[in-house]
Amino acid sequence: MAEQAQFDLVIIGSGPGGYVAAVRATQLGLKTAVVEKASRLGGVCLNVGCIPSKALLDASEYYHLARERFAEYGIKTGKVSLDLKAMLSRKDKVVADLTENVRKLLEGNGIEVVHGTASVPAAGTVEVDTGKKKTTTLSTQNILLATGSEPIEVKGLEFDGRHIVSSTEALDFDAVPGHLGIVGGGYIGLELGSVWNRLGSTVTVVEMLPKIATTLDGQVGRTLDRILKKQGLAFKLNTRVVEARVVRNKVKALLESGGSTETMTFDRLLVSVGRRPLVRGLGIEELGIETDPGTGQILVDETYRTSVDGIYAIGDLIPGPMLAHKASAEGTAAVECMAGRAGEVNYDTIPAVVYTWPEVASVGLTEEQMREREIPYCVGSFPFSGAGRARCMGETDGFVKLIAHGKTDRILGVHIIGPRAADMIAECVLALEFGASSEDISRTIHGHPTFAEALQEAAMNVRKCSIYTS
């Protein structure tokens, strides 16, 4: 049985890219529908990614503070215990509330939501399997693919959903693992490792490369490594997990490093080596949509149009960092282009955040990239140990690092490791967007006492540095 409907735009996927694009499209006068295969809206980010992980990070940080730090502030609590079920229930409520908000947002903007599995048999047509042998056909002028990504599964480390798991299952363990192994030292692994370490797990991170969080500025990455080790995380670098198998409810993993091997036993093994575009079943190969042969990402032009007219793609499906806020910006830009407006995204000013504690946030070029590009530069830095607000909170680990062009003083990169870094980076993104100089930041009055004063101090120090060239 088939039903037909006509739209200006059909968006496949209701994550941060899809739902933001839908609202902007209706503002521009486009009759819009959103197709979502899951029962709840919000995509990976709201349901099994950004939001639930941050809810657990905050909850586990409170638990850690209550157990380890309250006494130094003069707070006596008695014995502190963990109610994991309650913690997970709160996380689920946060997710449910936000996904419901997305539903209301789309409904309030007159956007039709169709639940089911979508495929694109041809440009201008979206078929939705809504279950019970019922298919809905949506006719449309434009199609926006915004289906996001999924965890990469590694041969020999296949997910079983209980012992060898992806990030999705690692958000819902029914008990704190005695020993949690993590394959991959990227953002996701470090964040989830932090959660379970605070709640009582022994955590071992196995990374093939010689350092963790490889995209970070080198100085920041080394500092993060040191701080996480101090918190109790263990790292095995230059090490590969060859295979893993479940034996008597434990995971036995074979590790290889420098030609030698060893076996480690874990209660759970989180495989977090990256994500890949989720395009299964869409029919992009049959349509002839061009993709990158190495990554599988869909190639688009400056308007986010694929190689097939009338079909666009954004977010994790296309090249660039797999970040929710990148997808949202691209969703807005893509529909503006469809509507004949000048939509674009400045990829040089997309912030990245690692929600460990302390947090790490960055925007722009790293010091290593400055050297590779042979750009003359100056660096100014300031430790949080010198900031009054950080002292008051007892959060003095980390620093702010600001990189400016050696001749023009224009800010080209900012890297922060410390408390509230995720919020502080917004000022830095704005500075890059407006082409600000370090002097602009240094002469901007910052409230006292605040964490942001450390940024102002770092900017002041830029002007004292010598000019480095490669």
Residues annotated in the binding site for NAD(+), as ranges?
Answer: 184-191, 207, 274
Q: Please report where in the chains the tokens 């490791």 appear, as a residue.
A: 417
Closest CA to 20 of 263, 299, 322, 325: 325
Binding residues: 54, 147-149, 184-191, 207, 274, 316, 322-325
CA distance 248 to 230: 32
Closest CA to 50 of 124, 119, 149: 149
Query: Is residue 163 flagged as an active site residue?
Result: no
Cβ neighbors of 360 (< 8 A, separation 6 or more) are 213, 216, 220, 224, 353, 354, 415, 416, 417, 421
Pull the structure tokens for residue 151.
């965890």
DSSP conformational letter for 226: H
CA distance 99 to 96: 5
Binding residues for FAD: 54, 147-149, 316, 322-325
Backbone CA torsion sign across 293, 295, 301, 304: positive
Which strands sit side by side in the sheet containing 240-247, from one edge to the other?
Answer: 240-247, 250-257, 260-266
Rg (CA), the chain: 24
Catalytic residue, chosen from 64, 405, 446, 448, is 448
Please list the active-site residues.
448
